[in-house]
Amino acid sequence: IHYCYTQLPSMDLASFVSASHLLTASVMSAPASLAMSKLFWPETEKPTVTLRTGLQINLLEAASQGASTSILLVANIAVNLISFLALLAFVDSALSWVGNLFDYPQLNFENICAYVFMPFSFMMGVDWEDSFIVGGLLGYKTFFNEFVAYERLSKLIHIREKGYVFVFQVRSEVIATYALCGFANFGSLGLVIGGLTSIAPSKKKEIAGGAFRAMIAGTVACFMTACVAGTVDNFGVFYRQ
C-alpha cells in the first residue's frame, strides 16, 4: 500500500509540468517509499511468502483469476473515488458559504490548506514568499488529487513564463513538482481501500486500518524527494529551458 501512493500517475501530467522532473521524481520515489514503509510498518516477523514460494504459481490460473477479479476491482475504485471527491467538494462549498456569511468571501479550502502546509513547503526549500502558494498546491494534492494540483501549478507557470509580475520562482516550481508527484491523497485512500478489499475481502479490517498510515508514509516520501530536489537545485543542477 505504501509503495502505491508514491508512484507516477498514469495520466499525461507532462502537459502540465516538466516531463523530466516527473520522471525523475517517480524514480526517486521508489526507494523513498520503501524506506518510509519500513519505518511506518516495520517487518518484525518472518514473511510467510518468500521469493522461492512466491514463484510457484500457475500462469493461466493467475490470468483468469485476475481478469475476473478486475471487474469488481474497477467498480470499487470508481465508486470510492467518486464518493471521496464529492465529499471534499461539499466541504469546499460549505467553507465558501460560511465565509460569505461572515463577510470573508476569500475563505476557501485552498487558503486553509495553504496556512497548514506553509511550514512544510518552507522546510522543503521553498522561499517564504512562495510558501503560501506551494502550501495551497500541497493541500489540493492531499485532499483532492494530484491532477488538480498540477493543473493549478501549470497555470502559475504559464503566468510566470508570460512575463507578468509574479513572485512564483522557478525553484519553487521545481520543488512543488516533486512534492506533488504521488498518489498520497484522500481520493486515493478510498481507491486503495476499495480496490484491495475487493481482492482480499477477508483482510478488509487490516487494509482499512493501515490505509491512512500508508497515505502519511507516501506524503512523507514525496516531501523527501522534494527536499532532495531543493538541495540539488542549490547547486544549479535543475533548470528550465
What's the pLDDT score for residue 9? 42
Low-confidence winner among 29-33, 116-120, 208-212, 235-239 (lowest mean pLDDT): 235-239
What's the pLDDT score for residue 236? 54
Cell of 162: 508570460
Residue 60 belongs to a domain: no
What's the pLDDT score for residue 167? 61
Residue 34 belongs to a domain: yes
**Angstrom distances, CA of residue 137 to CA of 40, 75, 130, 169, 234:** 25, 29, 11, 15, 22
What's the pLDDT score for residue 3? 36
Residue 85 belongs to a domain: yes
Taking only the tens place, the pLDDT of each residue in 190-216 is 777 777 777 778 888 888 888 888 888
Mean pLDDT of 111-119: 86
Phi-psi region of 125 (alpha: psi -120 to 50; beta: other; left: phi over 0): left
Residue 157 belongs to a domain: yes
Taking only the tens place, the pLDDT of each residue in 49-83 is 665 555 555 667 667 777 776 776 677 667 766 77
What's the pLDDT score for residue 99? 85
Q: How confident is the model at residue 8 (pLDDT cuts 50, 70, 90)?
A: very low
- Domain count within the chain: 1
Give the helix ranges, DSSP H, for 102-203. 109-123, 128-143, 146-161, 170-180, 186-199
In the predicted model, is pLDDT for residue 158 greater than 60? yes
Q: How confident is the model at residue 7 (pLDDT cuts 50, 70, 90)?
A: very low
Residue 98 belongs to a domain: yes
In the predicted model, is pLDDT for residue 128 greater than 60? yes
Q: How confident is the model at residue 153 (pLDDT cuts 50, 70, 90)?
A: confident
Residue 12 belongs to a domain: no
Residue 47 belongs to a domain: no
Taking only the tens place, the pLDDT of each residue in 82-110 is 776 677 778 878 888 888 888 887 777 77
- Give residue 174's domain range: 19-38+70-236
Q: Is 90:84 a contact under the CB 8 Å cutoff?
A: no
Q: In this structure, what are the phi and psi dihedrals at residue 87, rounded to the nearest 5 degrees? A: -65, -45
Residue 64 belongs to a domain: no
In the predicted model, is pLDDT for residue 18 greater than 60? yes
Q: How confident is the model at residue 4 (pLDDT cuts 50, 70, 90)?
A: very low
**Angstrom distances, CA of residue 124 to CA of 140, 198, 224, 231, 234:** 17, 37, 8, 9, 12
Out of 2-6, 19-23, 222-226, give the one with best mean pLDDT. 222-226
What's the pLDDT score for residue 57? 58
